[in-house]
Structure 1
C-alpha cells in the first residue's frame, strides 16, 4: 500500500476504509477504487514525478470527493489532473509555470481548468501539503470561461442532435413492430421506450425500483431518482413524471417478470415490502443467496449498469434499421439525443426555460437557454413536390407494391382488401387480427401490399389537404404535422407505382 502524505490529517487516513456516496467501501491508499456498480478506476497511473507526498495528498482530497460527490465526478477529477500532468511533463507539478503552459495548450478548451482549480482550492482548504500559494493566487485571478454548451442542439445535427418528429415516429414504429414479433426483448423495449418517452438519463433509468411506478388519481407516474444534484446520494431525491398508458403497461409487464425471477432465485413468495424494493432492471447473477436480500436491495448492487441502457439502444438499432429522412441513412442513436429532442420540442411549443429545466430534471436553467434561443422550424407546408422528393430518403413505406390484387399475398381473400374513401388501395398480407385504422396505418406497415392501380395519389392529395386545413384551423404546426411520416410513405408508393408503370410500358 502506498504511503500517504506525511501530515497529521493524512496519517489518520492511512489504511482507513471509506464509504463512497454510493455505499461502496474503498481504501484511499489502494491503487484501485470501486465507487459504484458503474465506476471503478486505478489511481496509480499518474506520472512518477508527481511523487509519493503529492500523491498521498491528492488521494486524500479525492477520497473526500468520493464520499460526497458522484463516482463519475470523482473519476473525472482524477482524469483532469492526469491530463494536466501528461501535458506539462517539462514543468514542476502544480507550479505556476506548469499551469501557464497548460492553459496555452488548451486554447478554447481552457474551461477544463475550472475543475482543476476547484479541486486545488479544496486541497488547500483541507490542509494537505503540495499546492503552492503562488499557484492558488494565479488560478484565482484567471477568468475561465465555461465549456461550450448545446452545439448539437444549435446545429440540429442529424448525427448527434435532436430527432425530428418523423424520425421519432419511425423509431417507435420499429420498436413496436420488433416487440410484437419478438425480435426486441421486453428489457430492450422498456429501455428504448423510456428513453424516447421521458428523455431521462441512463443513470436514472437503471436506478429505478418497482415502487417508483406510481398510479395516482387515474394517471400513471414514474418517480425518477434525481442525479447530478450536489451532495445528494443515490436515490435520495426524486421527481415524478407523468407517462402514457402504453409505457406504463410495458413497465408493469417488466415488473411482473422481475418479481417472478427473484421469487425463483429465493425459492419462495416475497413479501410486499421486499417486492417494492426490487430493481426494475436487475442483475440477477449478482444476487448472493448467502446474504439477506433486504440488505442487498439497500444499495445499487443488484441494479443494471448504467451503460447497459446505451448498449441496449445500440443492440436495438443494429437489429432494426431506422432511417432518417434527413440523410437517407440509418439513425445514429444515443440516450442524450432523446433529452435534446424533449427540450427542443418543448421550446418549439413555446415553453420557457424554467419549465424545460424541470422537464429535463435540471436544478437550474444554465443549460436550457440553448433550446429557447434556437427553436427549429417544422416545415410549414409540405406540398406534393416536397413530399415526393423526401420520400425515398425517409423510407417510411415498408411494404411491397404489387401489380394487382391477384399478385398479392392473400389476394384471393376479399377480407384482405384495404379500403379507403377513394377506393381499394391494396391488400394486407397478415393473417393476424389488426385493429389499426385503415388505410392510414397501412402505408407504414410491412404487411401492406399497395396495388399498382390503387388511388394512392388521391390519398396523398387528401392527406396534404388535411394537413393544410388543420394548420389553418389550429395554427399549431405540431398538430398539423402529425401525419408527416405517413405522407412520405404514401408519396413513396406513388413514386414506386409511377416507376413500375414505366417499366411495364417499356416491356
Structure 2
C-alpha cells in the first residue's frame, strides 16, 4: 500500500499506523520505515535519519511521525525530507523541555509557545513546518490536534529572509570583493604549483570561481559533459554541459545547460577529464560515463551514480582546499570564510556591477525565474570608491597581497647570474635603472612591473622606487574613476595593496638597520 492509498484508507478518527518493512523513496532508495535508522540516496544527495536521537516521544506518536515522513520520502526530495525531520525534531525538543513529559500530541498552544520562543526572526522555521504538520493531519494519523490544524490555516507566518548577506555585502557570508577573489585565485595557483592542492580540487575550485554553480551540479557532472569543439581555424572551444540542480524531480541529470569556459580553464578541465576517463577504463562499460569528480564506489547507489560524490562531499572538498590556502580578507583582517554559496553570490554581484539585468543574472545562476535575483541588481557595489596612499597603507597588512621576497639587491636574487631576471620600469620612473628581480624560470607574458608585485616569484629590491610605482597606480586609478569606468579602475586594486605592503616591509627593514647601527 502506497502513502496515497493510506490517505484514502484513513478514518475520520486519528489512528496509529502500521509501517511497512520495505519502501522505496522517490529517488529510488529502498529502506525499512520500521527501522530507527533510515538511509536514503538520491542521485548526488545522501541522507541518514536517526529516530533514536529524537527527544522522548510516545511510540504511537513516533510511528505517525515516521508515516508522514514516509509520504514525503515517496513524494519529495531527500533535501526536503531532511528539512522536515530536523525542523520537527526541534519542535518536539521544545515541547519536551517545557512539559517535562514524553511528546504525545502537538496542539495549538504548543505552536504558539514555540513561535514566541524562536522569535520573529526565526518564524520561518514554523512556516517551513506548517505544510508538513497539516499533511500529517490530512493523512488521518494520530499526533496533531485539530486545534493545531485550525491555527496553522489562520496564521500568517513570515518566510525565510533571502538575500540579506548579498544586499549588505556581508564580509563573512556575502559576496567576495575583487581583491578577495583575486587573492584566492593567486593562492590557489601557487598551492597547486607546489603540489599542495590535488588536481581534482584545483579544477573544481576554478570551475566554482568561474561559473558559481551549486555543489550538487558539480557532483552530477560526468566526463562526457566536457565538450571540446575543434574550430576550422585550428582553435578549440571548451564548454560544460552543466546538470541543472534545483528541479522538482529527483533526476540530477534530467536537464542540462551549456556553459562556455575560457580557453585556459577549458584546456585544464579537458586534460583533467581525459585523465579521469583513463582511470575508469575497465571499471565502466563506457569510461566517459565516469563522474568528473569521482569518489569511492557506493553500495546501493542509484544506477549511474555508483562512483559519484554527494553534494555535501563536493562542498567539503571545496572548503578544505580553499581554507588550506589561509588567504586573508582586507575587510575582516582574518582568513576568508569559505562556503560555496559566496562564489555564487560573487558571480551575481559582479554581473550586476557590469550592468547586466535580472534576466542575464538569472541565466548565469541557473534560476528558473527572476524572483530571487533582484537583490544583486540593488546590492551595494563591491568596488572601493577611493584608494589613496593612506587607505592603501591601512589595508595592505590585512590583504597580504605581496607574495614574493624582499631582497637587498641583485646579488641576493634567485637568478643573480641571469641578466634577464632584472626588472625595470622606465614608463613609471622615467629611468632605465633596475628596481627588482624575477625568480621565475621561463617566459612570462605579464606586464612588468605592475603584475609582478602579486607574483610569488617577485623579488623587489630594498631601495627600489616602490613609492613611485604606488603613486603611478593610484593616479591611474583616479583617472579611470573620473572617466566613469569603475570596473577598469579597480583592476589593479590588489596590486596597489601589494606595492603598499612592499613599501612597509622596506621601511621596517631600514628601521631595523638603524637600530642595529645605533
- CA RMSD, aligned part only? 2.8
Give the structure 1 partner of residue 82 of structure 2.
75
In 2, Cα distance between equivalents of 1:318 and 1:232? 31
Q: Is the 8 A contact 1:21 1:234 kept in 2?
A: no
1:396 aligns with 2:414: no
Deviations 1:23-82 (A, max 9, x none): 221222222211115212223433443432x33333232122223322121011111111
Give the structure 2 partner of residue 134 of structure 1.
147
Give the structure 2 partner of residue 84 of structure 1.
91
5+ residue gaps, structure 2: 1-5
Q: Is the 8 A contact 1:259 1:278 kept in 2?
A: yes
Give the structure 2 partner of residue 292 of structure 1.
none
Select which of 409, 413, 425 maps to 1:408. 413
Give the structure 1 partner of residue 468 of structure 2.
458
Structure 2 vs 1, CA of residues 128 and 12 (structure 1 numbering), >3 Å: closer, same or farther?
closer
Deviation of the 1:349 alpha carbon: 2.5
Give the structure 1 partner of residue 168 of structure 2.
155
Write the mapping of 1:101-500 to structure 2, written as runs, cut at 5 A: 101-108=113-120, 109-215=122-228, 219-263=237-281, 266=283, 274-286=286-298, 298-421=303-426, 422=429, 423=432, 424-473=434-483, 475-500=484-509
Deviations 1:272-315 (A, max 9, x none): xx233211111244489xxxxxxx78343310132233332333
Deviation of the 1:232 alpha carbon: 4.4
Structure 2 vs 1, CA of residues 12 and 146 (structure 1 numbering), >3 Å: closer, same or farther?
closer
In 2, Cα distance between equivalents of 1:313 and 1:118? 34
In 2, Cα distance between equivalents of 1:469 and 1:219? 36
In 2, Cα distance between equivalents of 1:134 and 1:284? 50
Give the structure 1 partner of residue 57 of structure 2.
49
Give the structure 2 partner of residue 291 of structure 1.
none
Q: Is the 8 A contact 2:298 2:307 kept in 1?
A: yes
Aligned residue pairs, count: 488
Q: Is the 8 A contact 2:278 2:287 kept in 1?
A: no
In 1, Cα distance between equivalents of 2:396 and 2:190? 21
Deviations 1:449-490 (A, max 9, x none): 1112322222222222332333344x2211221111111111
In 1, Cα distance between equivalents of 2:85 and 2:17? 22
Structure 2 vs 1, CA of residues 244 and 287 (structure 1 numbering), >3 Å: closer, same or farther?
farther
In 2, Cα distance between equivalents of 1:79 and 1:392? 43
Alignment partner of 1:49: what SS? coil
Structure 2 vs 1, CA of residues 409 and 105 (structure 1 numbering), >3 Å: closer, same or farther?
same
In 1, Cα distance between equivalents of 2:491 and 2:136? 55
Give the structure 2 partner of residue 293 of structure 1.
none
Q: Is the 8 A contact 1:65 1:74 kept in 2?
A: yes
Alignment partner of 1:482: what SS? coil
Alignment partner of 2:289: what SS? coil
5+ residue gaps, structure 1: 289-295
Deviation of the 1:318 alpha carbon: 4.7
Normalising by structure 2, we get a TM-score of 0.86
In 1, Cα distance between equivalents of 2:26 and 2:238? 31
Alignment partner of 2:492: what SS? helix
1:26 aligns with 2:37: no
Alignment partner of 1:341: what SS? helix
Alignment partner of 2:416: what SS? coil
Structure 2 vs 1, CA of residues 230 and 395 (structure 1 numbering), >3 Å: closer, same or farther?
same
Q: Is the 8 A contact 1:382 1:464 kept in 2?
A: yes
Answer with 489-498 or 128-137: which moved more: 128-137
Deviation of the 1:339 alpha carbon: 1.6
Answer with 232-241 or 198-207: which moved more: 232-241
In 1, Cα distance between equivalents of 2:32 and 2:156? 36
Q: Is the 8 A contact 2:277 2:288 kept in 1?
A: no
Q: Is the 8 A contact 1:22 1:234 kept in 2?
A: no
Answer with 16-25 or 333-342: which moved more: 16-25
In 1, Cα distance between equivalents of 2:440 and 2:263? 26
In 1, Cα distance between equivalents of 2:83 and 2:217? 19
Q: Is the 8 A contact 1:391 1:492 kept in 2?
A: yes
In 2, Cα distance between equivalents of 1:148 and 1:169? 30
Alignment partner of 1:398: what SS? coil
Deviation of the 1:335 alpha carbon: 1.0
In 2, Cα distance between equivalents of 1:183 and 1:433? 23
Deviation of the 1:403 alpha carbon: 2.0
In 2, Cα distance between equivalents of 1:114 and 1:287? 37
Structure 2 vs 1, CA of residues 67 and 219 (structure 1 numbering), >3 Å: closer, same or farther?
farther
In 1, Cα distance between equivalents of 2:240 and 2:22? 36
Structure 2 vs 1, CA of residues 318 and 145 (structure 1 numbering), >3 Å: closer, same or farther?
closer
Deviation of the 1:210 alpha carbon: 1.4
Deviation of the 1:92 alpha carbon: 4.8
Deviation of the 1:172 alpha carbon: 0.4
